Structure formats: C-alpha cells, structure tokens
C-alpha cells in the first residue's frame, strides 16, 4: 500500500495495513535518553532520530509546510508565579499554564 493510498483510506475510515505515523517532535531530553538506551549516535537531531530511525511516514511524504497558527502579534511570555519546582506562565496565546521549571526538564503544561 502506498503512502497516499494509506492516508486516503485512513481519512475515509477504510481498512489499512497500518495507521499512518506522523510525529510532531520530541524534547531534547527525550533524544538524550534514547541515546542512553541504545539509539545510535549518528541520529543526533530530533527529526533525524524520529524520522530516520523510527521510519515515520514523514520520511516518505516529506515535511509539511510551516504554518504559524498562533496569534499575530502573540502575547509576551511571562512568568507569573514561582512555586518551588514549578512556574506559572502566560504563553504566546495569552493562556495561563503551570509547568516544571525548564532547567529541571520538559513537561506538558497544565
């Protein structure tokens, strides 16, 4: 099954040989951990590691166009509160979120 056939069948809710795999990236800390767990060192960058080592469909299909889907102009990033190992921020969309301090690792804000 070609990539195009797989993608079209998936979008039509038809049977496919496997689900298409598109990735949105990984934290640098994740790639560093994968290297410790056996990811070959020649896969240094985030996209090289994800696309070439894990053979995602991005390799066959190619990179998508970059689109700014945020506010223009965006809000200024601000630290609103410091709470031990966490900070409360205002992000570029103006949303308030709590997250682990960046120097302690990466996390998905809540």
> Confidence band (pLDDT; 50, 70, 90) for 55?
confident
Q: What pLDDT was estimated at residue 41?
A: 79
Q: What pLDDT was estimated at residue 45?
A: 73
Specify the higher pLDDT residue, 11 or 56: 11
Predicted structure pTM score: 0.58
- Strand stretches in the chain, DSSP E: 78-83, 86-90, 96-100
Max Cα separation, the chain?
Answer: 52
Phi-psi region of 15 (alpha: psi -120 to 50; beta: other; left: phi over 0): beta
Q: What pLDDT was estimated at residue 62?
A: 63
Q: What pLDDT was estimated at residue 96?
A: 97
14 to 6, 17, 40, 77: CA distances (angstroms) = 9, 10, 36, 43
Q: What pLDDT was estimated at residue 106?
A: 82
Lowest-pLDDT choice from 21-35, 40-54, 94-108: 40-54
């Amino acid at each position: 099954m070609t990539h195009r056939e797989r993608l079209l069948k998936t979008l039509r809710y038809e049977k496919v040989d496997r689900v298409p795999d598109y990735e949105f990236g990984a934290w640098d800390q994740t790639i560093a951990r994968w290297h410790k767990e056996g990811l070959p060192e020649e896969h240094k960058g985030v996209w090289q590691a994800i696309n070439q080592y894990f053979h995602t469909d991005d390799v066959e299909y190619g990179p998508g166009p970059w689109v700014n889907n945020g506010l223009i102009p965006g809000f200024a990033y601000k630290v609103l509160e410091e709470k031990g190992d966490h900070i409360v921020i205002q992000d570029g969309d103006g949303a308030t979120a709590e997250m682990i301090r960046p120097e302690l690792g990466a996390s998905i804000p809540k």
